[in-house]
Amino acid sequence: MDFILTMHELSKRYRHFQALDKLTMHIPKGSIYGLIGRNGAGKTTLIRTIAGLQRPDEGFYCLNGVKHTDPRIAAVRRKTGAIVETPAIYLDMSASENLQAQNLLLGKPKNDQVERRLKRLGLDQTGTKKARNFSLGMRQRLGIASALASDPEFLILDEPFNGLDPQGTADLRQLIVSLNQQGMTILISSHLLDELSRLATHYGFIDHGTLIQELSAEELQKQCRGGWRLTVTNPQLCIQVAQRLHYACEQAENDVLIDGGGNISELLLKLAEAGCPVQALHQQDESLESYYLDLIGGDKHA
């Protein structure tokens, strides 16, 4: 598998705080990689390091096969677009002027692709309105439009859905999918796990500066526990019958949770024979959020 980014035992320390601790990560080319972690887990430090805004204390990373200490890394970074923490925009300029300024910084013609990028991000009707008067969501979209100025192969988005209304969120989701289908690799750090679950092809879970797990969306789906919630008249009897059939189960208030998906018709039949009819039956799948909380230890890390 080809990787656009690899990190090997990367460490970064701020005085008495270990922001990154021997972190190792692999982002496949052509993927949408969801970076998941609580506040203070090291996500922003990681992104700032990838973007070249700070250097690691130990370890190394390679961007498109080029090591971060290699003089060629500057040229490789020119094909990387990023929004780190907050969009880097000029508040006293209009959306069009912001993109024109970005083109000039990149040595491109002033008006190159400006109108196309404004339309693509839904900013083509903003006219001469200054960015300082934009909503948070509009500023976010303008930042993404600026990040696309270099026609990047690798796009890094730090909390891109912040401030977006439902329509804006859906539009951005569609844009991310479209960019990825055109061959762009995208790294997304977001607290909105439901949005990530709709987009990501790969996931990395970070905690205390270390990547504790890395897997594809297909692997995650296999590991997420499916099951059934049964409402019964006698939970204890239900558990006894289920255990005799080798189901893993537990009581949750007046319900019984049965691990595993698939057909449970045999269990329902045996419960009826035992005088424990099922009053309600619901199939449930583990969400990305619950999987993450189980992985890091739940409330201990909240």
Domain assignment present for residue 256? The answer is yes
* Residue where a domain terminates, one of 221, 242, 261: 221
- 271 and 230 assigned to the same domain: yes
- 136 and 265 assigned to the same domain: no
Domain assignment present for residue 55? The answer is yes
pTM of the model: 0.79
- 59 and 201 assigned to the same domain: yes
In this predicted structure, what is the pLDDT of residue 221? Answer: 78
Per-residue CA distances from 299 to 38, 186, 205, 292 (Å): 11, 30, 16, 11
Domain assignment present for residue 301? The answer is no
**86-103 burial: b if 16+ Cβ within 10 Å, else e:** ebebeeebbbbbbbbbbb
Decide: 86 and 163 in contact? Cβ < 8 Å: no
In this predicted structure, what is the pLDDT of residue 298? Answer: 60
Domain assignment present for residue 300? The answer is no
Domain assignment present for residue 201? The answer is yes
Per-residue CA distances from 34 to 55, 96, 160, 290, 301 (Å): 23, 30, 12, 16, 19
- 235 and 157 assigned to the same domain: no
Domain assignment present for residue 290? The answer is no
* Alpha-carbon span 295 to 208, nearest angstrom: 13
- 153 and 262 assigned to the same domain: no
Q: Which residue range is the domain that position 240 belongs to?
A: 225-285
* Alpha-carbon span 216 to 202, nearest angstrom: 4
End-to-end CA distance of the chain: 35
* Residue where a domain terminates, one of 221, 251, 272: 221
- 202 and 233 assigned to the same domain: no
The CATH number linked to 102 is 3.40.50.300
Domain assignment present for residue 296? The answer is no
- 211 and 254 assigned to the same domain: no
φ, ψ for residue 10, nearest 5 deg: -80, 130
- Tens digit of pLDDT per residue, the chain (302 long)? 799 999 999 999 998 899 999 999 999 999 999 999 998 899 999 999 998 889 999 999 999 999 999 999 999 988 999 988 777 889 999 999 999 998 898 888 888 889 988 988 888 889 999 999 998 888 888 988 998 888 899 999 998 888 788 888 888 888 899 899 999 999 999 888 988 999 999 999 999 999 999 999 988 877 776 788 899 989 999 999 999 988 888 888 788 988 875 568 888 989 999 999 899 988 776 778 888 888 887 644 43
**Number of compact structural domains in the chain:** 2
The CATH number linked to 248 is 3.30.70.100
Decide: 241 and 253 in contact? Cβ < 8 Å: no
Decide: 258 and 264 in contact? Cβ < 8 Å: yes
- Quick check: helix, strand or coil at residue 109? coil
- 50 and 130 assigned to the same domain: yes
- 137 and 199 assigned to the same domain: yes
- 142 and 251 assigned to the same domain: no
* Residue where a domain terminates, one of 221, 244, 268: 221
- 240 and 201 assigned to the same domain: no
- Quick check: helix, strand or coil at residue 270? helix
Distance from the Cα of residue 161 to its chain's centroid: 11
* Alpha-carbon span 215 to 36, nearest angstrom: 12
